A and B are shown apart, each in its own frame.
Chain A
């Protein structure tokens, strides 16, 4: 008859570290396999849906977008566009860089004062830091920088942002936020909201998006201090109407983050990917530390250097974000430089 052996390890850990290493390896391998397969599928599906998205009407490059709010796209199409962002957050390599570079709304330099500035525009102080897309879905949150690289992979209090048992938010819920990660206080400053709890805001005006952002973000608990299921704090930035007092507040007001210029958003503009004249950026030495180069000691060198990029069409642009057109070179010079 089988004797009862010591069937319970006495005062011993239940699992061996070797077994743990084996299991972690298997998990990693399974994840990598999924990633590899997912990548193959995502490339296909994002190409498909980008093709279908291409003929979409590009908002006119005029500042009189105004009252005519375009009709919302059919629900399904909007959904598939958001889905792409989530899928694309799993892409890798150069594809991902291209993809993400295309997805953010990028401001142009403010070179003149738009009409109806006080009525139609918002202004806020831009936090200095890493611009990124934060996507929460399926119990995890991923932040992707403009170059597509993952900044953080973490649990958050955003809907669907952490694996918590209470099951609030259905499996389909997810969020996409346009953020700047501010190193100093390890906080994601949310400058725009693209998608919230499965609801797409691509086709909503900035006015509505900011309203939604301010009410929902707070509500979700994402602004709370970090905890186990919420690794980084999120925060909205104070947004002002662009009248004199608003401008003054944004320009000189004290904010908990280092400023990097002022951002101006047209209230009626939808979230448009890529550069748009409906979002503008202003920088000077009072509201940004990145206006003038300094050396290691913090002193300003006598000469300022600028890196210029020569584009295929012979245009010479700065490597600013967004680039500023400097001029155009003629063919002779290009050949001389080339050889």
Chain B
């Protein structure tokens, strides 16, 4: 097969030709994979071929090695590993040859493919000679090959994990990279490639950063590179510094003064991409110190993992003025452009992080700047002053901030209505939102909002909702936090007198022609939701009146026909907002009996609307509608049965949605809601649901986070249907058993520990539900054969000593349920288990009341099981 021509055709502007070419490539690949891959690598290496086909050949090759989707990626890895050895050697040889090609695109493509192959083979101890042969290139070859080799080393470090490469090779890689970076390297491309390679290799340099001499050397070279005449090198060098600041925070003390000087110069004088990275360095230091201070609460002892060096606190007198200067470098129209990111934004963001890091100390450094600029004729100064104020509202103590806010509030309210500049108004509204978020509500002793200014605040915010979309969106946000601050304030809310007006204004915003800009419509609905969530009984009748209004809005979205794909997307988004709003209303009204009773008159119509929303799509279900239905099922209770015949197919569709795993997870939650609502009336649907759930569990395509809730859902169903669960018992128990075996021991990082605990919790909740469901039924004895394994699981996780409080509570509860349901049948088994002694005693003396309660229960049930 003539690969070149097919590859050329694959890039044709003629769709038919392209399609034909793609088909032949696919066919070739299916018929003879080794030959296919070898010819692609040959094409890439062949200096006589056109550059486009070489590049494309490389890309097709790369795509044959890696995919975004986990499941597919795993398949491709397996396929490569089992490929014929000769073919693999040929391919690798071609790739390495290409690194010395005069054509830069070919070299660069080869670099990426080599890294992919290395990513597969190195963890399997294959291709051991790769790094050696790359390193030998660095010293011998012309500049362009040297550049390609360094690039390859960079990609390689990105692909493989540090434990795969032994320290000796790491040292050699770092030596080659750092040499390539040094100022003695005359070729700019080589130096750039080396700097970028170091960025990826930093994760491998743990040992080297622990050695003072090696670390000094690396740091010196990086700092020198930030002064390179080439802007891309300076940028890449600052990116290295940012990465070092988080990876090697605890090693930075000797360098921090120099780094401050370098970054300050870059922020003030260098080009934007470089300046942004220089600011990012300090933001990243803030991130580190905030984490450390949060973890240890500022209370350091010798055994803290990483001490806080208070770099930010020390740099404060110089750092804050530098950041304040950046605030004056706004771009026109930055508030309209959602993707905008510039020095002023980065500087303000960093200032906010600094405030969170040092607290009160920042206030006296910023206040003079605000006072000086807030009333200046130049909008840039007014905006910068306001932005500075808004940025420091999180971090310092309320005692420090409230006197300032009390003075500023009136000024801000006036600026929001009167300032001639839209940027200033935007930032002012945002700052008001921050004031309400952090300094209003129950956390604060002396309220900043009184009866006197509440009226004014609301009037101004509602007025600003008529301003340009970006200002209106920020005004909605401010109202959101204003409402949130009054949550749980008591039976009477200060917002009550304004409730109707607020709701009306928000609905008006959703109907603005330009509500699609600056996510204004979304913000308006989110605010409406929060206002409803935080409302009190006083306004329940008004919330009830909102029901038919939102229903009508939802109804209107269903009217359009023959929509373009763009319109369809907009329709779906609006439906999502409206379903979300109904969900909040259902939950609010369902929470108290009198309002629930009145609300229920709408249940049939609302459910009808949700079903029509589902019907708008053919392949997937609407997540928001699904969430809302869960809330509805909870409120309706057993009456929900009448909706099941029509709803069931969507439920099934949701459970089958592996790709949008959030939808699947939400649907699993709704199955739980429905089980509790319908109890035994769910039986007719159980076959379908259980089959699908079991299928989901066995799939490796489904995101793993959905699996624990599926187990919990087994428990919900078993509790609802009781002994009818017998039909599924064998399958469910076998799935539970294998998951239990997998989750007894954990080896891995924090994330895996957390996941394993959530899996354990799901499994245990399933056992609880099953035991409780079978209790008092004549079929209890069916569970006896499973008891030994369950007790073994409890003993196993107890002995691992790594369960969290939630698992502990669920686990000891399962012990009680087992004893309660099986009674004397399990008496001796229970007595032999560790759980019934040590674990139970540990739980009985727990500080956690939930654990203690479950343990009391288990003790009672066990004593009965043993005594009978």
User: A residues touching B (Cβ–Cβ < 8 Å)?
Assistant: 1-2, 4, 6, 8, 10-11, 13, 16-18, 21-22, 24-26, 28-29, 32-33, 36-37, 40-41, 44-45, 48, 80, 83, 86-87, 137-138, 149, 155, 170-172, 186, 226-229, 231
Contacts and interface: CB of A to CB of B under 8 A. Distances in A.
B469 interface: no
Contact of A36 (B587, B676, B846): B676
B403 interface: no
Contacts of A155: 488
Contacts of A83: 853, 856
B154 A1 contact: yes
A137 B849 contact: yes
23 contacts: A1-B154, A10-B345, A10-B348, A11-B426, A13-B477, A18-B580, A21-B583, A29-B673, A32-B676, A33-B672, A33-B676, A36-B676, A37-B719, A37-B769, A40-B772, A44-B775, A48-B860, A87-B853, A138-B849, A171-B846, A171-B847, A227-B442, A231-B491
A21 B345 CA distance: 29
B349 A10 contact: yes
B580 A41 contact: no
Contacts of B666: 22, 25
Contact of B672 (A4, A24, A29, A45): A29
Nearest to A42: B857
Interface stretch (B26-34, B264-272, B599-607, B812-820): B812-820
A195 B630 CA distance: 38
Given A4-B280, A44-B820, 7 more contacts: A1-B196, A11-B430, A21-B584, A22-B662, A33-B672, A41-B820, A171-B852
Contact of B850 (A10, A138, A149): A138
Nearest to A13: B477
A138 B846 CA distance: 13
B751 to A, nearest CB: 19
Nearest to A10: B345
Interface string B825-857: 000000000000000000000111110110011
Given A22-B666, A25-B666, A170 B847 contact: yes
A48 B196 contact: no
B861 A44 contact: yes
B852 A172 contact: yes
Contact of A48 (B488, B847, B852, B864): B864
B289 interface: no
A18 B575 CA distance: 13
Main secondary structure of the interface of B (DSSP, over half): helix
Contacts of B583: 21, 25
Contacts of A8: 283, 349
A325 B287 CA distance: 75
A114 B416 CA distance: 73
B199 A231 contact: no
Contacts of B302: none
Interface in B714-755: 715-716, 719
A1 B200 contact: yes
Contact of A226 (B427, B490, B624, B627): B490
B16 interface: no
Closest 4 CB pairs of A and B: A228-B442, A17-B526, A40-B772, A138-B849
A87 to B, nearest CB: 7
A129 to B, nearest CB: 14
A29 B820 contact: no
Contacts, number: 130
Interface in B383-422: none
Interface residues of B, number: 78
A2 B155 CA distance: 11
A23 B853 CA distance: 26
B242 interface: yes
B529 A17 contact: yes
Interface of B: 154, 158, 196, 199-200, 236, 239, 242, 276-277, 280, 283, 339-341, 345, 348-349, 426-427, 430, 441-443, 474, 477, 480, 488-491, 522, 525-526, 529-530, 576, 580, 583-584, 587, 593, 624, 627, 630-631, 634, 662, 666, 669, 672-673, 676, 712, 715-716, 719, 765, 768-769, 772, 775, 813, 816-817, 820, 846-850, 852-853, 856-857, 860-861, 864
A25 B716 contact: no
A40 B442 contact: no
A137 B848 CA distance: 12
B260 to A, nearest CB: 20
A6 B341 contact: yes
A327 B857 CA distance: 46
A83 B772 CA distance: 21
A22 B661 CA distance: 13
B489 A1 contact: no
Most buried by A among B339, B349, B474, B522: B349
Given A41-B820, A172-B852, A33 B857 contact: no
B857 A45 contact: yes
A329 B196 CA distance: 99
Contacts of A4: 239, 242, 276-277, 280
Nearest to B277: A4
Nearest to B443: A228
B468 to A, nearest CB: 15
A41 B430 contact: no
Nearest to B525: A17
A231 B426 CA distance: 36
Given A33-B715, A44-B861, A25 B630 contact: yes
B30 to A, nearest CB: 34
B203 to A, nearest CB: 12
Contacts of A37: 715, 719, 765, 768-769, 772, 813
A173 to B, nearest CB: 9
Given A13-B477, A32-B634, A37-B769, A26 B200 contact: no
Contacts of B491: 186, 231
B199 A1 contact: yes
A75 B158 CA distance: 65
Most buried by B among A11, A137, A226, A227: A11
Most buried by B among A1, A2, A18, A24: A1
Contacts of B490: 186, 226, 231
Contacts of A26: 669
A228 B236 contact: no
Contacts of A228: 441-443, 488-489
A11 B340 CA distance: 11
Contact of A33 (B477, B712, B861): B712
A321 B426 CA distance: 62
Given A18-B580, A22-B666, A137-B849, A149 B769 contact: no
